[in-house]
Amino acid sequence: MFYFIERNRSLVQGSSFHPTLMSGHRVPPTARLEQRGKSGRGSTIGSSWAPRSATPLPPTRATPPPLRPAPPTKHALPFVPVIPFTKHGEILCLLTSTTDRPIRWSPPSEPPSRCMASPLRGVIERHDARCLPRRLPVGRYGGRGMTDDTVSPREAMPGRLETRVPGLDTILGGGLPVARTVLVAGSPGTGKTTLGNQLAFHHAAAGGRVVVATLLAETHDLMLANLTSFQFFDPALVGERVVYLNLFDTLESEGLGGVAAAIRRFARDSGATLLVVDGAAVIEDVAPSQLALRRFVQQLQVQATILGVTTFIITGRVRNELEVLGAHVDGIVVLTNEPFESRQVRQVEVIKLRGGPHVAGGHTFTITESGLTIFPRLESVAGWLPRLENSREALHLGTGVPGFDTMLGGGLLPFSSTLVMGTPGAGKTLLGLSFLMEGANRGERGLLAGFHETPPDLIATAAGIGLDLRGAIDAGLIRILWDPPLELSADAWAWRLLDVIGEYRPRRLFLDALSDIQSFIIPPRRRATYTTALTNELRLRGVTSLFATEIDTHVDDELVVPVPAASATMDNGILLRHVELRSSLHRLVSVLKVRQRATDPAIREFVITEQGIVVSGQFPAASGLLTGRADAAPPSSGDAAS
């Protein structure tokens, strides 16, 4: 069992107190204490407890004395759990006992690393001038119990309560800190209330109990009616594990103290493990002073620790209006819905989170019938994903075009990334289809991620060069992931791609085209890091990738790489383009870059036939081919490459 301190009005005046059990039994006092504030006088909730005298304990008897029932307290204030405080440089170590022995206060002169000997439990240890509990009970759901195991300071950090909101636990570093207070802020329409209710129903469905307290928000009937359109809403949980409480009348009649007392009483009586307070901006409006508001927030924090309740406060304030509330909560999450060019972009950012790491910066999210889905910035968490076990093979992967394989020095290395640049109609998609079909003929799975040509169009295009794409799809050797290029979220698309790869486990990937997805990256300066994260993650997952990208101009004064950052990230680079010579268009291929081996430096012509792509000899022009300008030269015979 756990020992708690029952505080009453006489205690605030500086009189002695008796440690009291939650069960209502009293333990003889072992030391006289006073409650000190910064001024040294008696103060209210939030001050530290410090021993007035280090009265030694009497020798412990073999059989502890029987406990006497405690008389009722007329003006009982909330139970305050014994937790370590370090104000004024003093250490207070109160330990729980499974043998009903008296608790013991250890004076500062004792070594802090061993404040109490066996058989008392819950030893408080000091690490880096901090007094940390070994196993502090922080809640009935998602918390930790008391054990005798020695843990490190990192393990002593608060546990995490999983929100089960897709993507949110990732950026929170595992979830909300248990028995802590987190503030969610944002202007109207950003999804705060939806997020609070989504968290409530997910938590209740997992076995927790939730109290949703509202303050001048929409009525509960209207709120529940709006929630029926979401998949997370379960009417069977309402009134059982999700209880709604309107506190506006209490706020008007009793003020901030009445609201705090009502929350405490209702959460304790219902056994809540999660508290959602919606409409905290109203509390700011009615608070008589900033000091009163700060005290109220601090009181909510203390109550969260007392009851083991994780508290989720929702306010309509925006980011630059959080100076008062934000300074006293353990975490701050801000939701925004800002215009970008001709569309609105929703983003979430964790500004502050005590007790552990989190993923900083903005992350896009959507609101659908499933509720909020958060898509962490790919480059911010790419290194956290698990690797798929793949052995690096010595055999090269063919492109399906023998002439290209010869120019590449035998084909593509496993797990490599190749950027295929080309003008419209140069043959990029056909090369990608040939690459996937070459793998299918060898029994290797392939994935095509595209934005323009639909699956029926791709099947018809492949059939035009003698490739049976439909047969490979029916056999489960090739899968097509198609999205229309209409206001996509680059991060949402990337996570969907990685989810498909994790489930399907292809060996080959053809992306048609990288330039399409890069146009949706917000802000554009992320393009370099985004592309690097994507290619690295594909390599870690054992995928050999081919990325097509568009060159807008057929003729230019110089060769312009459409995605310079991507070209530096890729292992290989291939250029396909048209040139005009003697009133005819010619398709040319050149290998610009290949890592780890020598390649063919020649610029060769290729043609597209009903049997596929055929590469011929070196093109007989003198210069200007890479830019699309061909200066004629005397014809010369070149060696055929295929």
Over the chain (642 residues), the average pLDDT of each successive run of 10 is: 34 33 35 36 34 41 41 37 34 32 37 31 29 30 33 58 96 94 95 96 96 84 92 95 92 91 92 93 88 90 91 92 88 94 91 90 96 95 59 75 94 93 92 97 97 95 96 97 89 95 97 90 89 91 93 60 68 88 84 86 92 88 55 51 48
Q: Please enumerate in sequence order all residues whose Cβ is within 8 A of that of 110, keeping only pairs 6 or more positions apart, or say none.
A: none
Q: Per this entry, what is the length of the chain?
A: 642
The amino acid occupying position 255 is G
The count of other CB atoms within 10 Å of the CB of residue 235 is 10
Distance between CA atoms of residues 250 and 370, nearest Å = 34
> In 10 A of CB 349, how many CB atoms?
16
Query: Residue 178 in contact with residue 274, Cβ under 8 Å?
Result: no
CATH code given to domain 402-576: 3.40.50.300
The SS3 of residue 283 is: helix
Where do you find CATH 3.40.50.300 in the chain?
160-376, 402-576
* Identity of the residue numbered 121: R
d(CA 639, CA 391): 37
Contact yes or no for 227/217 (Cβ under 8 A):
no
Residue 125 confidence (pLDDT) = 29
Distance CA 463, CA 465 (A): 5
Distance between CA 423 and CA 431 in Å, rounded?
13
The predicted model scores a pTM of 0.71
Side chain identity at 499, as an amino acid letter? D
Distance of alpha carbon 108 from alpha carbon 87, whole angstroms: 12
CA 611 – CA 228 distance, rounded (Å): 56
98, amino acid identity: T
Architecture of domain 160-376: 3-Layer(aba) Sandwich (3.40)
pLDDT at 95 (0 to 100): 32
Residue-level pLDDT at 622: 53
Q: Where does 424-489 have alpha helices with state H?
A: 428-441, 455-463, 469-474
Q: What would the two tokens of residue 592 be?
A: 């610009």
